[in-house]
Amino acid sequence: MGFMTNRGVKAMANTYFRADATDTPTTFRMALVTSAVVPTVDTALLSELTQIATGNGYTTVTSGAGLAVERSSVGFDTITQDDTNNRAFVQIKDLTWTASGTFPASGNPARYAVLVDDEASPQVIAVFDLGNDVTLVNGQPLILQNYSITGTN
Protein backbone atom coordinates (compact mmCIF):
# COMPACT_ATOMS: atom_id res chain seq x y z
CA MET A 1 0.00 0.00 0.00
CA GLY A 2 2.80 2.39 0.84
CA PHE A 3 6.54 2.72 1.08
CA MET A 4 9.16 4.64 3.00
CA THR A 5 11.42 6.97 1.08
CA ASN A 6 15.21 6.91 1.28
CA ARG A 7 14.98 10.21 3.13
CA GLY A 8 12.48 8.73 5.56
CA VAL A 9 14.73 5.79 6.37
CA LYS A 10 17.65 8.13 6.84
CA ALA A 11 15.66 10.36 9.18
CA MET A 12 14.53 7.31 11.13
CA ALA A 13 18.07 5.95 11.46
CA ASN A 14 19.43 9.38 12.32
CA THR A 15 16.84 9.71 15.07
CA TYR A 16 17.19 6.21 16.47
CA PHE A 17 20.94 5.78 16.42
CA ARG A 18 22.19 9.37 16.64
CA ALA A 19 19.35 11.26 18.39
CA ASP A 20 19.81 13.89 15.72
CA ALA A 21 17.84 16.96 16.82
CA THR A 22 16.97 18.12 13.32
CA ASP A 23 15.70 14.77 12.11
CA THR A 24 13.75 14.00 15.28
CA PRO A 25 10.23 15.26 14.64
CA THR A 26 7.87 16.71 17.19
CA THR A 27 4.96 15.61 15.06
CA PHE A 28 4.21 14.24 11.63
CA ARG A 29 1.69 15.50 9.09
CA MET A 30 -0.18 13.87 6.23
CA ALA A 31 -0.42 15.76 2.95
CA LEU A 32 -2.46 15.02 -0.15
CA VAL A 33 -0.70 15.47 -3.45
CA THR A 34 -1.69 15.23 -7.08
CA SER A 35 -0.22 12.97 -9.77
CA ALA A 36 1.49 15.93 -11.42
CA VAL A 37 4.74 14.69 -9.88
CA VAL A 38 4.71 11.02 -8.90
CA PRO A 39 6.46 10.47 -5.57
CA THR A 40 9.18 7.81 -5.54
CA VAL A 41 11.62 6.40 -2.98
CA ASP A 42 13.96 9.22 -4.00
CA THR A 43 11.47 11.96 -3.18
CA ALA A 44 13.05 13.89 -0.35
CA LEU A 45 11.01 17.03 0.28
CA LEU A 46 7.33 17.87 0.17
CA SER A 47 8.24 20.89 -1.93
CA GLU A 48 9.11 18.51 -4.79
CA LEU A 49 5.46 17.47 -5.00
CA THR A 50 2.22 19.30 -5.77
CA GLN A 51 -0.29 19.44 -2.96
CA ILE A 52 -3.96 19.72 -3.79
CA ALA A 53 -5.48 23.17 -3.50
CA THR A 54 -6.10 24.44 -0.02
CA GLY A 55 -9.63 25.10 1.16
CA ASN A 56 -12.93 23.21 1.41
CA GLY A 57 -11.57 20.92 4.10
CA TYR A 58 -7.93 20.69 3.11
CA THR A 59 -5.23 22.72 4.82
CA THR A 60 -1.93 22.89 2.97
CA VAL A 61 0.77 21.06 4.89
CA THR A 62 3.72 23.12 6.08
CA SER A 63 6.05 22.63 9.03
CA GLY A 64 3.38 24.03 11.32
CA ALA A 65 0.07 23.40 9.58
CA GLY A 66 -1.99 20.62 8.09
CA LEU A 67 -3.42 17.37 9.37
CA ALA A 68 -1.22 16.22 12.25
CA VAL A 69 -0.20 12.67 13.07
CA GLU A 70 1.12 12.68 16.61
CA ARG A 71 4.56 11.16 17.20
CA SER A 72 3.19 8.81 19.81
CA SER A 73 1.02 5.76 20.27
CA VAL A 74 -1.91 8.06 19.48
CA GLY A 75 -0.69 8.91 16.00
CA PHE A 76 0.69 5.44 15.38
CA ASP A 77 -1.70 3.25 17.27
CA THR A 78 -0.33 -0.23 16.63
CA ILE A 79 3.12 -1.72 16.22
CA THR A 80 3.66 -5.36 15.41
CA GLN A 81 6.70 -7.63 15.23
CA ASP A 82 6.29 -10.52 12.80
CA ASP A 83 9.00 -13.10 13.47
CA THR A 84 7.62 -15.48 10.87
CA ASN A 85 8.11 -13.09 7.99
CA ASN A 86 10.95 -11.10 9.59
CA ARG A 87 9.30 -7.72 9.53
CA ALA A 88 7.64 -5.14 11.72
CA PHE A 89 4.96 -2.68 10.90
CA VAL A 90 3.55 0.39 12.52
CA GLN A 91 -0.02 1.42 11.81
CA ILE A 92 -1.14 5.02 11.47
CA LYS A 93 -4.33 6.13 13.17
CA ASP A 94 -7.29 6.65 10.88
CA LEU A 95 -7.15 10.06 9.21
CA THR A 96 -10.14 11.94 7.82
CA TRP A 97 -10.60 14.98 5.65
CA THR A 98 -14.21 16.10 5.22
CA ALA A 99 -15.14 18.15 2.17
CA SER A 100 -16.82 21.49 2.81
CA GLY A 101 -17.56 22.09 -0.83
CA THR A 102 -15.92 20.61 -3.87
CA PHE A 103 -12.72 18.86 -2.82
CA PRO A 104 -10.18 19.83 -3.86
CA ALA A 105 -11.34 23.41 -4.03
CA SER A 106 -9.70 23.72 -7.45
CA GLY A 107 -7.11 22.06 -9.62
CA ASN A 108 -6.14 18.43 -9.84
CA PRO A 109 -7.50 15.70 -7.56
CA ALA A 110 -5.61 13.90 -4.81
CA ARG A 111 -3.75 10.76 -5.86
CA TYR A 112 -1.19 10.18 -3.10
CA ALA A 113 -1.00 10.72 0.63
CA VAL A 114 2.48 11.53 1.91
CA LEU A 115 3.63 11.41 5.50
CA VAL A 116 6.06 14.22 6.26
CA ASP A 117 7.98 15.46 9.27
CA ASP A 118 7.89 18.98 10.69
CA GLU A 119 11.18 20.37 9.48
CA ALA A 120 11.11 23.87 8.02
CA SER A 121 11.03 22.23 4.61
CA PRO A 122 9.14 19.05 5.46
CA GLN A 123 10.83 15.78 4.49
CA VAL A 124 8.78 13.04 2.85
CA ILE A 125 8.92 10.00 5.13
CA ALA A 126 6.42 7.66 3.50
CA VAL A 127 4.13 7.58 0.48
CA PHE A 128 0.73 5.94 0.06
CA ASP A 129 -1.04 5.48 -3.27
CA LEU A 130 -4.74 6.20 -2.96
CA GLY A 131 -5.35 3.89 -5.93
CA ASN A 132 -7.07 6.45 -8.10
CA ASP A 133 -7.66 10.17 -8.34
CA VAL A 134 -9.89 11.29 -5.49
CA THR A 135 -12.40 14.12 -5.53
CA LEU A 136 -15.17 14.66 -3.00
CA VAL A 137 -18.50 16.41 -2.88
CA ASN A 138 -19.63 18.61 -0.04
CA GLY A 139 -19.85 16.62 3.20
CA GLN A 140 -18.09 13.55 1.87
CA PRO A 141 -15.12 12.25 3.88
CA LEU A 142 -11.80 10.92 2.66
CA ILE A 143 -10.67 8.39 5.23
CA LEU A 144 -7.24 6.76 5.35
CA GLN A 145 -7.88 3.66 7.40
CA ASN A 146 -5.36 1.14 8.72
CA TYR A 147 -2.48 2.55 6.70
CA SER A 148 0.81 1.07 7.84
CA ILE A 149 4.54 1.36 7.34
CA THR A 150 6.56 -1.83 7.12
CA GLY A 151 10.17 -2.41 8.05
CA THR A 152 12.07 -5.60 7.28
CA ASN A 153 15.56 -7.00 7.74
33 φ, ψ to 5°? -125, 160
**Cβ contacts of 21 within 8 Å, gap of 6 or more:** none
**Cβ contacts of 148 within 8 Å, gap of 6 or more:** 1, 2, 78, 89, 90, 91, 92
Q: Are 67 and 119 in contact (CB under 8 A)?
A: no
The mark string for 29-68 relative to other proteins (x by CB under 8 A, - otherwise) is ------------xx--------------------------
Q: Which of 88, 95, 105, 130 binds other proteins (CB under 8 A)?
A: 88
Inter-CA distances, 44 with 9, 10, 56, 62, 80, Å: 11, 10, 28, 15, 27
Q: Which of 45, 48, 76, 105 binds other proteins (CB under 8 A)?
A: 76
Indicate whether 137 belongs to the interface with other proteins (CB under 8 A).
no
Indicate whether 13 belongs to the interface with other proteins (CB under 8 A).
yes
Indicate whether 95 belongs to the interface with other proteins (CB under 8 A).
no
Residues from 107 through 136 that contact other proteins (CB under 8 A): none
Which part of the chain contacts other proteins (CB under 8 A), choosing from 1-9, 30-38, 54-62, 132-140?
Answer: 1-9
3-state secondary structure 77-107: CEEEEECCCCEEEEECCCEEEECCCCECCCC
Query: Quick one: 9 or 68, whose CB is closer to other proteins?
Result: 9
Q: Which of 54, 71, 95, 98 binds other proteins (CB under 8 A)?
A: 71
Residues that bind other proteins (CB under 8 A): 3-7, 9-20, 28, 41-42, 71-73, 75-76, 79, 83, 86, 88-90, 149-153
